Amino acid sequence: MAVLDLSAYGLTEEQRELAAMVRTFADEVVAPQAYEADRTKTLSMDVVRGMGELGLFGLPFPEEVGGQGGDSVALGLAIEGLGRVDQSVAITLEAGVCLGAMPVFRFGTDAQRGALLPDLLAGRALAGFGLTEPEAGSDAGGTRTTARLEGDEWVIDGSKQFITNSGTPLTRFVTVTAVTAPAPNGGRGEISTIIVPNGTPGFTVGPAYDKVGWHASDTHPLTFDGARVPAENLLGERGRGFANFLSILDEGRVAIAALSTGAAEGCLEAALDYAGSRQVFGQALGSRQAIQFMLARMQLRVHNARLAWLHAARLRDAGRPFGAEAAIAKLTASDAAMDNARDATQIFGGNGFMNEYPVARHYRDSKILEIGEGTTEVQLLLIARALGLGR
């Protein structure tokens, strides 16, 4: 089976056309600027707008709110196609949809949807989701940021870290989780989500992080010091912020699995090309059985990862429970990305240590796929719970 042959995965003609369109955009627009974007740690707004013009930010949303009328499979195909050549661009799309626009669509009022979704779904604006804090990562229920009502305003104090799409020229707002009422017994307090527009007094976007990978992805810490927003900026029902986020997180895990699959595939494509052209002792590197077996295992990982995320996405689109399958997909695909990046770098030898080669960037970028949207250990915990263990 060819690396790019998607015909064996039960996709519709429309889905295959979407995948082909995104892969063409990735190869012709995203890939040529990927190294320079990584080197300068700059997210191209032209690329973001280009994704918007293709309708990628609106893929899983209904047409009546400005979307493309697609589903989770469509979004995953787009993210996978981008992840092949540039994980920073792929995560920009994933976060823009799953963490930026989706909470507004799922839980927002008609007024919030009408004001925010048109630009988000067209790629004219981006939004971040402020969940993680210095002492609340995997245990996001340990949120310490607070929001109290004073008259008709929320007053927000606290900090967030590692927030994607929070400081770009297109960023319109961030949605933050905050404790809106303490627990009466001193336990976990009531957590709600609140929309905070960029430029709000008391809301500061800190300098971009100096990261190991995803250099062109926009990631910042946020601080809130008496930041005031209208009471109607509450997103969803008060006290349901954490529960609502958990439902969003399952969809995000499927999307990250698709991104990871794209990264694993990009490594395989590059390694195949290199093994075919690199001459060692008068023969192509790919003529060596050890290299052939390594490439075969890389193909195996791509195949299994794609099957896993497609299965989870199809369950979600059918309205069936998919939480355990999302965890399986995320774990399978992130492992595939990391393993393929390591093997591709080994095949490239010294060249694999040079950032100008995509496998070097994938090697750095892929580690975060085992951490973000729930660590490997969290996925194992969720899978174990689905088996009835550890309750």
Known catalytic residue at 133 = no
What is the three-class DSSP state of 184?
Answer: coil
Name the nearest CA neighbour of 125 among 51, 25, 229: 51
Classify each residue of 64-77 as buried b or exposed e, where b means 16 or more C-beta atoms within 10 Å of its C-beta.
ebbbbebbbbbbbb
Q: Whole-angstrom Cα distance, residue 66 to residue 106?
A: 14
Which of helix, strand or coil describes residue 252? Answer: helix
Grouping H, G, I as helix, E, B as strand and the rest as coil, residue 186 is: coil
Residue 9 structure tokens:
């995965």
- Check: CB of residue 177 under 8 Å from CB of residue 218: no
Helices 323-348 and 358-365 pack at an angle, to 10 degrees, of 140
| Beta-sheet strands, E only, within 93-218 | 126-130, 146-150, 153-164, 171-181, 190-197, 203-205
Select which of 94, 133, 251, 373 is catalytic: 373
State the sign of the Cα–Cα–Cα–Cα dihedral 126, 131, 135, 138: negative
Pairing of strands 203-205, 153-164: unpaired
Q: Catalytic positions, please? A: 373
